[in-house]
Amino acid sequence: MADIIKLLPEHVANQIAAGEVVQRPASVVKELLENALDAGAQTVKLIVKDGGKVLIQVVDDGAGMSATDARLSFSRHATSKIQKAEDLFNLDTKGFRGEALASIAAIAHVEMQTKPDNEEVGTHLRIEGSEVVFQEATVTPKGTSIAVKNLFFNIPARRNFLKSNQVELRHITDEFHRVALAHPNVAFHFYHNGSELFNLPVDNRRKRIVNIFGNRMNPKLVPVEEETPIVTIKGFITKPEFAKKSRGEQFFFVNHRFIKSPYLHHAIVAAFEGLIKSDTYPGYFLYLEVDPSSLDINIHPTKTEVKFDDEHSLYAILRSTVKHSLGQFNVAPALDFDRDPNLETPYGFQNKSAVLPKVSVDAGFNPFQEKRTPSYRKQDADWESLYIATKTESDDDQTGPSISYESDIITGSIFDGEKETPETVATTFQIRRKYVVATIKSGMVVIDQSRAHQRVLYERFLKNSTIKQAVSQQLLFPLTLSFSISEIKVLQEIEDILVSVGFIFEKIVGESITVSGVPLLVAESEVGMVLDQLISDYQQELTGDSFSHTDMLSKTLAKTLSVKTGEMLDQQSQLALVNDLFACKESMTSPFNKPVYITITENDIDKKFI
C-alpha cells in the first residue's frame, strides 16, 4: 500500500493555525494590543477601517525589534516570552505561543515598521500570505507599528462569514475595553474610519472605567478590596438597583489578563442573592492577583479560560468579599440586634427638626369671677329643643331631605331555574395573574398574557416602523439622559428607526441625549430603561441589514413594554387583549417563537371525567 500521510506545506499549516487564533477582526486586535503591552508600551493607538475588514493598525512606543527579530517574529513557534516548558507555569506576559503574527500573516497583508531605542534606523517589512515581499531599513520612531490589511483575502469563505461593519466594530470595541480596563497605567487611543472613539489617558481604575462607560457609571460603583495569602482582590461592583436584564459590564481580570469564568461569576451572583431579581445580572470590574504558579492559562487558544489550583477557596473568598462590600457601604440591608428599637427615630420624622413646645395663657381669666350657670342651662334647653325638633321632623314632617343608602347589587339565584344569557356571563377571566381564559364555540382558549401582549405590540411597532406613521406623545419637560460614548454611537446608528416608532430627539451632544417625544405606550419614567434595553439588544444582535435592525428593535420594545406575569387585568383589558391578539397576522406564536395560547376543547374536558 502506498504511503498516504504527508507533511502539510508551511502556508497551509499557517492557515490552519490561523483558524484557531484569528476568528474575526477582533481576534487580530486582541493579539496586536497584547504584543504592544508586552513590549512595555506607555501609549498605544488602535486604528480601524470598515470594522477591521480593510485595516487594523496598532502603533506603540514600546521596545521595538531589530531587523532579525522583526523577520523571525512572523515564524511559527517563535517567541521571546518563554524558553522552556516550565515557563508556561510562571507567565507574566500576554502572548507566549509564538503563533499570533504567523497566523495573521498567513491570511492578510501585513506591514511592519519597528525600531529599538538603541539603533539609528528601523526595519520596514511587508508580508503577504506568509511570504516576505519587501524588507529594508527605514527611518521610524521608537516602537512598533503593525498594519493588517485585507483580512482573509486568500480565504473567501472565511471572509463571507464576517458580519456587518457595525457588528465587527462592536466586537473590536469589546476587546479594546478588556485590554484598556486591565491596564489603566497605559494611555490608549482608538480611531475608526478617521473619527476618534476613545481617548484614554493614564489614570486610576475608577476613572478608567468612567472614561470608557461614561460619567453615569461613577455613582453606580461600590469599591471592593481584600488581601489574603491566596488572592488579592480589588475593583468595583455596581449597586444592586442598577442590575440589568442582560449581561452588561462584567469583567474579571487575573494578573492583568481578562478571563471568562462562569464559576467565579456564580460567586458574584450568590453574593447578590436577595438584593436583585432572579432574571437580572450585576455588573462588576474585579482585578485578582494570584501566584502565577497556581494558574494555568494554556488551556484555550484565546487564553481567556484559565484553571485555578484552589477554585473552592477562591470562590468562598470572592463571595464573602463582595458581600462585605455591599454591607460596608450600606448597600445591603443589615440588622443590628443590640440596638434598642425604642430609641430609633420613626421614618416619618427622620428629616424633621425638633419643635419647642408653646404655652398659651388666657390673660382675661379671673378665678374669682362668678360662674355663669344660666348660660349652661340655656344651652341645655337649646339642646333639648333641638332633639325635640329633630324627632318631630323625622316622625311627622315628610318634606325634609331624604337619605339614600348604598346597597349591594341584587343578583339572580342560581337555584331559581332561570338560564343565564351569554350577555350576563363573563367571557374571559384571569388565572393566577398569568393566563387569560376565553370561551370559544368548541371549548376554551388559555392565553399567556405576556406573550400575547408582546405579539400585539410587536406587530404594531413593526407596522409603524415600516410605514413611518408612528404617533408620538410630546413631553412637557424634555428628558436629558447620559450614556457612554459607545452607547451614543449606537443611538446615532438606530436613530432613524427609533424616530419611526415614535421617539423624538432634540439633540445628541457628547455623552448626553435630550428626548422630547416618546411612543404612546412608553411612560416618561421608563424612557431610560427602554433605551438601555434597546442599546443592549442592538449591541448583542449579530444582524446587519436595516430590516433586521427594525425587527430587532420592535421585538425589544414589545418585550420591554408588554404586560408582565403577575399583573392584574380588569375585565375590559382582558377582552381588549383577546380581541387584539386574534386580529394579529400571526397570533399563535410570540415574536420570540414561543406559543401564545392553547385550545382546550369540550371533548378534552369530557375525557377527564371518564
- Determine contact, residues 283/268, Cβ cutoff 8 Å: no
* CATH code where residue 235 lies: 3.30.230.10
Contact 42, 65 (CB under 8 A): no
Q: Residues 461, 558: contact at Cβ < 8 Å?
A: yes
Looking at the structure, do residues 124 and 137 belong to the same domain, yes or no? yes
Rounded Cα distance, 178 and 184, in Å = 11
Residue 29 pLDDT more than 90? Answer: yes
Lowest mean pLDDT among 96-105, 427-436, 444-453: 96-105
Number of domains in the chain: 3
The whole-number pLDDT of residue 274 equals: 85
267 versus 82: which is more confidently predicted?
Answer: 267
10 Å CB burial of residue 237 (0-12, 13-18, 19+) is buried
More confident residue, 247 or 103: 103
The answer to whether position 510 is within a domain reads: yes
Cβ contact 164:148 at 8 Å: no
Let me know whether 72 and 183 are in one domain.
Answer: yes
Quick one: 142 and 239 in the same domain?
no
Radius of gyration, alpha carbons of the chain: 36
148 shares its domain with 286: no
Q: Do 241 and 181 share a structural domain?
A: no
Put the strands of the sheet holding 122-128 in their side by side order. Answer: 131-138, 122-128, 109-115, 143-149, 55-60, 43-49, 187-192, 195-200
Joined grid coordinates for residue 458: 410587536
pLDDT of the residue at 566:
82
The pLDDT, as a whole number, for residue 470 is 67
DSSP string, 5-56: --PPPHHHHHHHHHHHH-SSHHHHHHHHHHHHHHTT-SEEEEEEEGGGTSEE
Which tens digits make up the pLDDT trace of 127-144?
988 888 889 999 999 999
Number of residues that this document lists for the chain: 610
Q: Are 195 and 255 found together in one domain?
A: no
Nearest to 73 by CA among 108, 40, 115, 112: 112
In a domain, 391, yes or no: no
Tens digits of residue pLDDT in 506-536:
887 777 888 888 887 777 888 888 888 888 7
Which residue among 269, 303, 328 closes a domain? 328
Q: Residue 424: what pLDDT?
A: 34
In this structure, are 172 and 53 located in the same domain?
A: yes
> Do residues 233 and 320 both lie within one domain?
yes
Mean pLDDT of 87-93: 55
Confidence class of residue 178 from pLDDT cuts 50, 70 and 90? very high
Q: Which pairs count as long-range contacts for 235-238, CB under 8 Å and 24+ apart, including other chains?
A: 235/205, 235/284, 235/285, 235/286, 235/287, 236/205, 236/206, 236/209, 236/284, 236/285, 236/286, 237/268, 237/282, 237/283, 237/284, 237/285, 237/286, 237/322, 237/325, 237/326, 238/282, 238/283, 238/284
Nearest to 547 by CA among 50, 51, 169, 164: 164
Cα–Cα nearest to 460, from 541, 530, 532, 561 = 561
Three-point CA angle 292, 288, 95, nearest 5°? 50
- CATH number at 573 reads 3.30.1370.100
Identify the domain containing residue 586 by its residue range.
Answer: 428-599
Q: Which of 295, 310, 328 delimits the end of a domain? A: 328
At 182 the pLDDT is: 93
**Domain assignment of residue 262, yes or no:** yes
**Domain match, 324 and 246 both:** yes
The pair phi, psi for residue 206, each rounded to 5°, is -65, -45
Q: Which of 386-400, 469-483, 524-538, 566-580 is predicted least confidently? A: 386-400
For the chain, give the mean pLDDT: 79
Asked if the model's pLDDT at residue 461 lies above 80, the reply is yes
Range name among 70-79, 268-277, 382-391 with the lowest pLDDT average: 382-391
* Residue 399 placed within a domain: no
102, three cell numbers: 504567523
Which range (327-341, 376-390, 554-568) has the least confidence? 376-390
Assigned domain for 415 exists: no
How confident is the model at residue 270, as a pLDDT? Answer: 92
**191 and 239 co-located in one domain:** no
524-549 in b/e form (b: 16+ CB < 10 A) is eeebeebbbbbbbbbbebeeeeeeeb
Confidence class for position 249, pLDDT limits 50, 70, 90: confident
Q: What integer pLDDT is reported at residue 453 of this predicted model? A: 92
What cell was used for 53? 475588514
pLDDT at residue 487, as a whole number:
82
Among 167, 200, 233, the domain-final residue is: 200
**Longest CA–CA separation in the chain, Å:** 141
Residue that wins the pLDDT comparison between 333 and 404: 333
Tens-place pLDDT, residues 474-498: 888 888 888 887 788 888 888 887 8
For residues 320 and 542, the model is more confident at 320
% residues pLDDT > 90 (the chain): 26
Band of residue 574 on the pLDDT scale cut at 50, 70, 90: confident
Could you tell me if 268 and 186 lie in one domain? Answer: no
More confident of the two residues 353 and 521: 521
Helix, strand, coil shares of the chain, percent, nearest 5, are 40, 20, 40
- Residue scoring higher pLDDT (35 or 467): 35
Residue scoring higher pLDDT (291 or 391): 291
Amino acid code (one letter) for 68? T
Domain-located, residue 351? no
Instruction: Please state, in angstroms and as integers, the Cα–Cα distance from residue 550 to each residue in 319, 382, 461, following that order.
Output: 41, 81, 9
Between residues 489 and 267, which one has the greater pLDDT?
A: 267
Q: Tell me the pLDDT band of 370, cut-offs 50, 70 and 90.
A: low
Residues 291 and 296: their CA atoms lie apart, in Å, by: 11
385 domain residue, yes or no = no
CA dist 421 and 82 (Å) reads 87
CA–CA separation, 60 and 116 (whole Å): 12
pLDDT digits 0-9 by tens, 57-82: 999 999 889 888 888 888 776 665 55
Is 44 in contact with 189 (CB distance < 8 Å)?
A: yes
Task: Give residue 38's Cα distance to chain centre.
Answer: 32
Predicted confidence at residue 86, as pLDDT, reads 52
Query: What pLDDT sits at residue 571?
Result: 83
Strand, helix or coil at 126? strand
Confidence of residue 205 (pLDDT cuts 50, 70, 90): very high
- Residue 405 maps to a domain: no
> Are 538 and 589 in the same domain?
yes
Task: Supply the CATH number for residue 14's domain.
Answer: 3.30.565.10
